[in-house]
Structure formats: structure tokens, C-alpha cells
Chains A and B, each alone.
Chain A
């Protein structure tokens, strides 16, 4: 079998794929994308809640995909649908519980130190966006609970001037926000947040020294 010669772009006329590859390769320092060791101060339970939040989000998305395939008529009437519906709800409960404890820990260790401002900001925005995603989820239950929440929430949403394009009394619109738009935003923010954590490293305790 003869070798096929490959045309390799020189640095001067590098194609967009080469530039993109370099850009992606330079996002995090070498070996930090999937590290096999961490600073000794990471050996604390408080550092576990970030990855617990990520694990809960994985279950949220997975159970949400199954609910999307089955549809509301399925999750209301079948026993498996009830189970997946409950799995979705309780993974969301754990997601928020872990995320808030993660937030408390990072707040009290001033996790924005060491040029980690954007790491902190993307975490805060992801938290706020997650609240909106959960809200549209409660509006998408297609039961009396979702009707009551929509009726109670409409005046507040209208009062801040977004009711024209975010109508909580429109279950179809709320369902699409819940399963498409907001998950995309939360997912993108989560990826950026994790890349920034790997780029700048896990924030050390305030009194940590170089030998820690």
C-alpha cells in the first residue's frame, strides 16, 4: 500500500482549521484538561460539591431527554413515566442543593481571586439561568400545579416588561424554552465554567502557600 502524500499548511498560510485547533489546544494548559492529580488542599469535602452539581446536571439532562421522547401523556399515566418524571424532579432538587453549597463554599473562600473573575461570573450566571430553567420546568408539568404557577407568576413577569415574548400562560412556549433554549444556555455556561476552572486551576484556600 502506497503512502498518500499530505498537504500540510505552513504557519504562514495556516488554514482556519489549524487556527481553531491551536485555539482549542490553548484553552487549558497541557495536561490540565483531564488531570490525574490535584493540589493537596483539594482533599476536602467542600471541593466535592462542584462535581456533584455536574453529576446531578447529567442526570437532569438524561432524564429530561427520556421525558422529551415519551411526552406528557406518557409521564402522566405510565409507571415508568412516573419514575422518570420523579427522577427528573429529584435530580433537579439535588442539583440546586449541591450548587448552592458549592456557591457558599466558593463565596467564603473568595473564589474570584487569582484572575478567576470570569469563573465566578459564569457560575453566578449559570445559577440564575438554572432558576429560570427550573421555573419553565414547573410551568411545563401540564397539570393543575403548572396552571396555578403560571397564573401566579404572570403579573410578576409582566411587571418586569418581558411578558410580550415570555408568556408564562403559554405552555407550548414555556416547554420549548425549557427543553431547548435554556438548556443550551446552561450547558454552554457550564462548559465555559469548567474550561475556566481547568485553565486557572482550583482556587486555593486564602491562607495557602506554594508548598500546599
Chain B
């Protein structure tokens, strides 16, 4: 009997779905989390940030360490 047949159907279903490509194997859950993180990263770069309520201090900026 194949090993996998020894497991009940619910146990196989609960073990998750995996995607394989060569040496790479990733669960669908983890892949979705990685995609969500990439989307969050992209949104953080393009979404406008709320404007500050206070005035901007013109003297606050890159430090002298940042001089080229």
C-alpha cells in the first residue's frame, strides 16, 4: 500500500497544498504571505503619506555624515 494511502483524507487535506518547481517547494499559504508582503512593500512606496499637522522644520535634514 502506498504510504500516502495510510493517511485519512482529512489529514491529507489538512497538510496543505504545495507548489514544486525544481528544487523549490513552497506551500500555497507561505507563497500567498510572500506575495502579500511584496504588495505591502509596493504600496508603501507609492501610497501618499498623510501630511503633517505641524510646520516642517527647514533645518532638519540629512546630517553632516551624509555629505558626499
A: residues with CB less than 8 A from B are 37-40, 43-46, 48-49, 97, 100-101, 104-105, 113-116, 200-201, 203-204, 208-212
Contacts and interface: CB of A to CB of B under 8 A. Distances in A.
A40 B33 CA distance: 31
A118 B3 CA distance: 52
Contacts of B23: none
A37 B54 CA distance: 9
Contacts of B45: 44-46
B37 A97 contact: yes
A44 B66 contact: no
B10 interface: no
B44 A44 contact: yes
A105 B61 contact: no
A209 to B, nearest CB: 8
Shortest Cβ-Cβ A-B pairs, 7 listed: A45-B44, A114-B65, A114-B66, A204-B62, A46-B44, A43-B49, A115-B65
Interface of B: 33, 37, 40-41, 43-45, 47, 49, 51-52, 54, 56-58, 60-63, 65-66
A40 B56 contact: yes
Nearest to A37: B57
Given A114-B63, A114-B65, A204-B62, 7 more contacts: A37-B57, A37-B60, A45-B47, A97-B33, A101-B41, A201-B63, A211-B61
Contacts of B49: 43-45
A6 B47 CA distance: 58
Nearest to B47: A45
Given A37-B54, A100-B37, A210 B61 contact: yes
